[in-house]
Structure 1
């Protein structure tokens, strides 16, 4: 019994440290932005020594990238309401909830502000959005199979069209986004898809 516990403790402690440092990194991004983020501040917020952080991450760029990658890997439930309109509404509203609450502002701060031009951050940004698109593709493919959308509708194009008005308000015009914003995005995306404007252009 006792011989099994020592190997388990470092694993659990390591996982807890990683989770705490990720949470602290995102919180620092929300409060202070990427430009002001330091490993020392992250360590203090996480309640660990800075050498603990440096043993796992060589610098703040690798720390932020890993925190973002962890967010990308987080489970994103794919709705299955039985209709494409219901599914897209659920997706759009969950997107609004994600980018306006919790760690959403931290993700946006890291991906589109101070460190946005760094190759590592650009790669993490592509990973986050690529992961979200892949997870949501079944919503569109099911709708095509049910005959709700034209054959050949491109899932990626439809999902980008759905998300675009939300991100435009957040990043360009700084307008508030809410459930009404999400529902309007659904109407626009569905109208474009049903008109055949979002079909695949590549073979």
Structure 2
């Protein structure tokens, strides 16, 4: 089952499943945008727009999602918020943007969803300006962590909605152009993490 098809089916019930469980984590994640001057911000995987209420209004936003059904629900929410935002149907592993176009990229619950998280991170880095930042909120396991239950769960759900076996450190070591600034545990005893990266200037 493809990711696009899965999330087309999930779109009508996505908010009821995800919204309350992730709200506080989203607020914490998006507060990282508050103390910056106006920037060009890319949101990879905007989904139904659950991030919208927590986005500061002084930035220029470009938001993508693979699934038109999710973007339709996001579009219906936009009028409730005073945001400068454009929506695009796009695959995070093949972004339709120029190199070094954005100052900040948000990746909330994306890397542990896509089939190729390394490609998604590399594409995100490509469209990020030197010195720009990537803000990640997602679930990862640590290097060497057995996490047997998560790995078994992944066998059943990876083709439907998400993955539970992604090791972030393995992704980062293959992206030498990115520097880790912060790695903060959050939901479920640190299974979910808030991670800040910066693209090197040279």
Q: TM-score range by the shorter chain?
A: under 0.3
TM-score using structure 2 length:
0.27
The structure in which a higher percent of residues are strand is 2
TM-score using structure 1 length:
0.27
Higher Cα Rg, which structure:
1
Name the structure, 1 or 2, with higher relative contact order (CA <8 Å, separation 6+): 1
